[in-house]
Amino acid sequence: MEFTMSTNSFGRHADGSFKPSRRQFVQGLAAGGAIAGLGLWPKSSWALKSLGNPVVLAGTQFDLVIGETPVDFTGRVRPAVTVNGSLPAPLLRWKEGTTVNLRVSNALPEGSIHGHETSIHWHGIVLPANMDGVPGISFNGIHRGESYLYRFHVRQAGTYWYHSHSGFQEQVGLYGPLIIDPIEPEPFHFDRDYVVLLSDWTDLSGDALFSRLKKMAGYDNYYQRTVGDFVRDAKKDGLKSTLADRRMWGAMRMTPTDLSDVNANTYTYLMNGTTALGNWTGLFRSGEKVRLRFINGSSMTYFDVRIPGLKMTVVAADGQYVHPVTVDEFRIGTAETFDVIVEPTGQDAFTIFAQDMGRTGYVSGTLAVREGLRAPIPAVDPRPILTMTDMGMGTMSHAGMEGMGDMKGMDMSSMQHDHAMAGMPMQGMDMGSGEQSHPASEHGNPLVDNLAMSPTSRLDDPGNGLRDNGRKVLSYSMLKSAFEDPDGRDPGRDIELHLTGHMEKFAWSMNGVKFSAAEPLKLTYGERVRIVLVNDTMMAHPIHLHGMWSDLEDAQGNFMVRKHTIDMPPGSKRSYRVRADALGRWAYHCHLLYHMEAGMMRAVQVEEGKA
């Protein structure tokens, strides 16, 4: 029986179990890596070693054991939830057109802080509902000492990932890459192939972090605007406008610097399971084409990715081929995947640099001609602030902002769509093509702190902090599937859902209603629907519908790109078509783990139509 180790060797207890020696423990810490290797690989899956990648399990028969493994990324040893002792979980390699059998066993120890139940969700994979792996929605979960056989036909190809849908286990290590090799040749050439899995780690338990967010949602927002910022803005925009801006934000009890709930003040960012200090390295020979499969397996982090000195040609999004588009940088939301081709030449090493959206930290790795090399690591970009556009209020002129002081003490949830805002002059505010309506459940709702008044698709917007930065940055408008609309029918009906929340209370919902109080969305099997999402919050949300594809439309309603996760920037309104071709009950949620846990989730029920 084989066992995997991220350090070189382990000492053996008298009972046959393994432990790291003191010297190996220190080496593991210095490298910024996990102390993996306490788990044993089963014999029934064969392991393929791939340089620069984690252990790969390939074939059609898999035995995956979920347990706990001690890890150290920060100087403290903490118990991670791992698959076969590995963090990230092993890279699984399937073949399109085969039937896979995955026996998942729960070996979590008695009294584990991570619970007694576990699960695996195959993210973006089209399969029967009872194979989807969401406890309480599509199956009962896998209890301690039990196993569950996932068995389904593989009907797609590309780059995907898998993770737990039980409690906060995804946060503490239960996630891994998944590659499905296609039947037909791919429409692009490459010489090497690497997974670049980005994630976030905290020594806090998921329960402790969630509790802290509920009590102090702004705990990680260390950066607040200063007197120096005020002086700079006054010189640039004028004193009256700057005073009005500060009064407005104060009246709304919000902060324009609150871009993410949890950031590098709490998180350590990882690339393929190691910190920047560990320097994950992918090797190349000059002139080769290298395929990098970027996966955002984080719990709460958007990453902005670039490789200074190299252009990246995006060839696939969420596992689906797109017309190639060459960029310098891209933003990858939680749960998204992007495949890019790079051609490193002219130097021996290039830095893969992934900074968080809030500019509080980064993780980096290296493409190099040999191990041990590094290229310069760029400085983290200046931290951006939220704008009126990010609030879904269009653009506001200076004249319109000068009356904002009259909003003192007003909660934005009281903004009715007749503009009954005491003393707030609406002239000077660009309301776009007309004001957005909102469901009655949002108005006067103590768990809703903002209503987007003029949301737009923002498909051509690379995102806050990426605009006009001197680099060519990917936007959704650049993504075009390499195939026509797979369904072709016009949607029979529209379903509009609003992403809602209260940042100070850390309350998240859809239409102002938390998951625990919401009825399932019902679809009829075979129908084509259009889902329209309106983000009424000041935060981005990656929205994932299980079991079915999401075919994103442009602002005119034309098919653009097929995805499994749709990023919704603050103040945006986007639509996508869904073919209800999967019977059963499915999860539909924000993929920011703590937003989902706080209530931004629905169940979707696909039922046979009545005769």
Taking Cα atoms as reference points, which of 134, 158, 168 lies closest to residue 148? 134
pLDDT value, residue 503: 86
Mean pLDDT confidence for 393-403: 36
Q: How far is CA 60 from the centre of its chain?
A: 28
- Using CA atoms, how far residue 413 sits from 259, 394, 516, in Å, is 20, 17, 22
Single-letter code of the amino acid located at 552: L
Band (385; pLDDT cuts 50, 70, 90): confident
CATH number of 484-607: 2.60.40.420
Give the chain's mean pLDDT: 83
Q: Please, how many CA atoms are within 13 Å of residue 42, restricted to the half-sphere of its CB?
A: 17
Helix (H, G, I), strand (E, B) or coil at 558: coil
Percent of the chain clearing pLDDT 70 (strictly above): 77
Strand order through the sheet with 541-545? 521-524, 601-607, 584-590, 541-545, 565-568
Q: To 10 degrees, what angle do helices 227-237 and 239-251 make?
A: 130
Q: Do the domains spanning 11-185 and 189-221+257-386+470-483 agree at the CATH topology level? A: yes
Mean pLDDT confidence for 35-58: 48
CB contact at 8 A, 91 and 177: yes
Mean pLDDT confidence for 570-595: 96
Number of H helices, E strands in the chain: 6, 36
What does the pLDDT look like over 182-212, one tens digit per residue? 999 999 999 999 999 999 999 999 999 999 9
CATH number of 11-185: 2.60.40.420
Residue 328 tokens read as 């310098």
Residue 128 buriedness (CB in 10 A; 0-12 / 13-18 / 19+): middle
**Global confidence as pTM:** 0.84
What does the pLDDT look like over 507-558, one tens digit per residue? 999 999 999 999 999 999 999 999 999 999 989 999 999 999 999 999 899 9
What DSSP string runs through 107-162? -PPTT-TT-SEE--EEET----GGGS--BTTTB--EETT-EEEEEEE----EEEEE
pLDDT value, residue 243: 63
Percent of the chain clearing pLDDT 90 (strictly above): 68
Band (264; pLDDT cuts 50, 70, 90): confident
Neighbour count for residue 40 (Cβ, 10 Å): 16
Residue 284 buriedness (CB in 10 A; 0-12 / 13-18 / 19+): buried
CATH superfamily of 189-221+257-386+470-483: Cupredoxins -  blue copper proteins (2.60.40.420)
CB contact at 8 A, 530 and 573: no
Residue 588 sits at the vertex; the CA angle it makes with 585 and 593, to the nearest 5 degrees, is 125
Listed by start position, the domains of the chain span 11-185, 189-221+257-386+470-483, 484-607
Residue 209 tokens read as 């972090």
